[in-house]
Structure 1
Amino acid sequence: MKAGQWDAQNKKVVINDIPIPELGKDQLLVKIKSASLCHSDLMSLARGHGDTVTMGHEGAGVIEKIHSSAEGKGFKVGDAIGFNYFINVCYECDGCQIHNSRCENTNLPMCQGFHTNGFFQEYVLVDYHTAVVLPPEIDVRRASPLFCAGITAFNAIDSCELHPGQWIAIVGCGGLGQYAVQYAKAMQYNVIGVDISDDSLDSAKEYGADAVFNSKTQADTYVDEIRKLSGKGVHAAAVFSGANAAFDGAIPLLRTNGLLMVVGIALEPLQINTLDLITGRYRIKADSTGVPRRMSKAVAFTAKNNIQLNVDFRKIEDLPAMVDDMKNGKARQRQVVTFD
């Protein structure tokens, strides 16, 4: 089968022919229908791998085979499914109820696409614990971004615990932010998009944002304008950017006791004023893709509200160019590899 891999020795993306994997305990053999490129994949390449590994941690596909140990777990051959990417964990301990990277019963949690083969290949092995059957409203050929970007965005917006009519700022309106705008509107919040890219802000408007502001070109005015528009500041600001400046710029947007939702992975430690926290200037929470048991709620909400991104369909041979486009800021839509 074809696989898009990171060649660690030569530091480049290559397309290789590799064997179709053999089923093991608790596993499903899945024919990939869509796999998408995420900024986290580029972060992984920057860190480097010791071995050549198939890239990609956002995937969706159709079950081809089921190991006997995974029978009777709610899946059947032919089901369209999406899946998380953490494996080699117990899924049951206290740590796994929070995040699978915190598993208390293994010293080596693994991420498919980072530590072991991921989803830019024609067939993949999926632990049934991480999988969910897709409702018919979700097209498996464009579903892969949901299984990192989408679920992360849903969890973050859902965890803000706002009420209809309250205000939320989506700071960083790239792929995750565009999902977040749609989820926030579906939850009946007033949504403000903030970014330094007019293209990203145009997309946020397309997905329903009530107002958008460029924090670079409107640097002197956007905070006051947002505070005026929202009454006295937004009730929550969810930061989907990894830029430290995005976090610093989000705090002034908040009203007293507003919520700073941390989603983006900042390159440097955040500067937090503890006096602000103890006096109720603002609160802090954080969220991510989370654990498999949270996926069903996100998937059902996505299907009910017809939430999806515009995607750029590509072939596996395009993966090197896809990576270059993302590195160079040329990717305007989520890039999705499909297999026939």
Structure 2
Amino acid sequence: MTGQMKAVVVSEVKGKWELQDRDMPQVGPDDVLVRIRACGICGTDQWITQGVLAFRDFPLVLGHEAAGEVVAVGEGVTKRKVGDRVGVFMSQKMCGVCDFCHEEHPNSFVTSANCANPRLTGVTVDGAHAEYVAVDAGGTVLIPDGVSYEQAAPIICAGYTVWAGLRRAEPKPGARVAVSGIGGLGHLAIQYAKAAGFHVTALTHSADKGDLARQLGADEVVADGAALKSAGGADVLLHTNSSHGAVAKAMEGLRPWGKVVLMGIATDELHLPALALTSNSYQVIGSAHNTIEHLVEALDFVARGKVSTMIETFPKERAEEARAKAAAGEVRFKAVITY
């Protein structure tokens, strides 16, 4: 397919998200062309825009939290066909030739950090804040019937992150799970933990989020680790907010052999209570996107009505407004742009 399309372009560091005409991407071998219908705004998109993270030169088309349908397939593609409803995620393809790739790890967020030349949607190559994107077929996941593109889009990154983190912690049946931070990640973490059958405690200092946390499935809501301990403690702490400063305080509520899963990206340093860490045999786990199996599971929860994303949608013509509102924390909880 040839022609022009609309794409949201960031021309420079701290630049605005501007809707521009661009050539449609061409489909290469093993690629699929996806007509994007919805793409969420991730914190990574904001950090790249602000220059906090840098992977390539501007101008950029960001976006790795997307959903749409396949409209063309390249040579050699067998796992996708025209008409498939798919999600487009970040860790699209590993280079296959570096030392890390030769160790034959499954594709995950760890690939993004260790592969010598990964193909990362919206990061190292143009992304899905556009009407069309060409990606390796392996960088897509099927969206279950009945799940809208707008609902699916945040699951492709935010939902994937929290469910993969909970799975990585391997909580035992009947475990108590605490969620620190009720935002884009946290509101989903509460739902996933409850849907999986765990006792869920939400940690938040925001009084207006207490009732919401209970509506999302939290059994209890507390303000800090001391209150968490008084409420029975937690075997797993899912830390989802964008500051590491709250981790040590929240850990006061961990039970012996408890696990902390870090999944909210932040720039501040992490300081841990060494004596408590050693004495209680705590584990601190870093986790983002793990195997694709976890993304499939995360979408299935949505399809079964167990998890729902709280979103505010914006047409592509209002992309900069969506970015600005999300950056200011004025969206509850995920901004999704439709294309």
TM-score when scaled to structure 2? 0.88
Identity %: 27
Matched residue, 1:256: 256
- For structure 2, the 5+ residue unaligned runs are none
Deviation, 1:327, is 1.9
Asked if residue 286 in structure 1 is aligned to residue 286 in structure 2, the reply is yes
Aligned to 1:312: 312
From the superposition, tell whether residues 31 and 315 of structure 1 become closer, same or farther in structure 2 (CA, over 3 Å): same
Does the alignment pair 1:149 with 2:158?
Answer: yes
Q: Larger deviation: 179-188 or 113-122?
A: 113-122
Aligned to 1:79: 84
Alignment-mate amino acid for residue 67 of structure 2: A
Give the partner amino acid of 1:306: K
Using the TM superposition, give the Cα deviation of residue 28 of structure 1 relative to its aligned residue in structure 2, in angstroms: 0.5
Matched, 1:188 2:192: no
Residue aligning to 1:39: 43
Distance 1:264 1:246 in 2: 12
**Residues 45-84 of structure 1 correspond to what in structure 2 (within 5 A)?**
45-47=49-51, 50-70=57-77, 72-73=78-79, 75-84=80-89
Counterpart code for 2:103: D
Provide the rounded CA distance (Å) in 2 between the counterparts of 1:100 and 1:223: 29
- Tell me: CA distance 1:170–1:103, structure 2 relative to 1, closer, same or farther (3 Å): closer
- Equivalent residues of 1:193, 1:212 under 8 A apart: yes
User: Is this contact kept in 2: 1:174–1:200, CA < 8 A?
Assistant: no
1:168 aligns with 2:172: no
Tell which deviates more after alignment, 106-115 or 85-94.
Answer: 85-94
Query: Does the CA-based 8 Å contact 1:101-1:109 persist in structure 2?
Result: no
Cα offset for 1:103? 6.8
Is the Cα–Cα contact under 8 Å of residues 92 and 140 in structure 2 kept in the other structure? Answer: no
Given residue 337 of structure 2, which amino acid in structure 1 is its aligned partner? V
User: Which of 8, 12, 18 in structure 2 is aligned with 1:14?
Assistant: 18
State the one-letter code of the partner of 1:228.
S
- Cross-structure match for 1:218: none
Instruction: Kindly state the Cα deviation for residue 45 of structure 1 after the two structures are TM-superposed.
Output: 1.3
Deviates more, 1:106-115 or 1:86-95: 86-95
SS in 1 for 2:83: coil
- Give the distance between the partners of 2:113 and 2:179, measured in 1 at CA: 34
Q: Deviations over 1:125-151 (max 9, x none)?
A: 121112121111322232110100001
DSSP-derived class of the 2:325 partner: helix
Aligned length: 328
Structure 1: runs of 5+ lacking an equivalent:
216-221
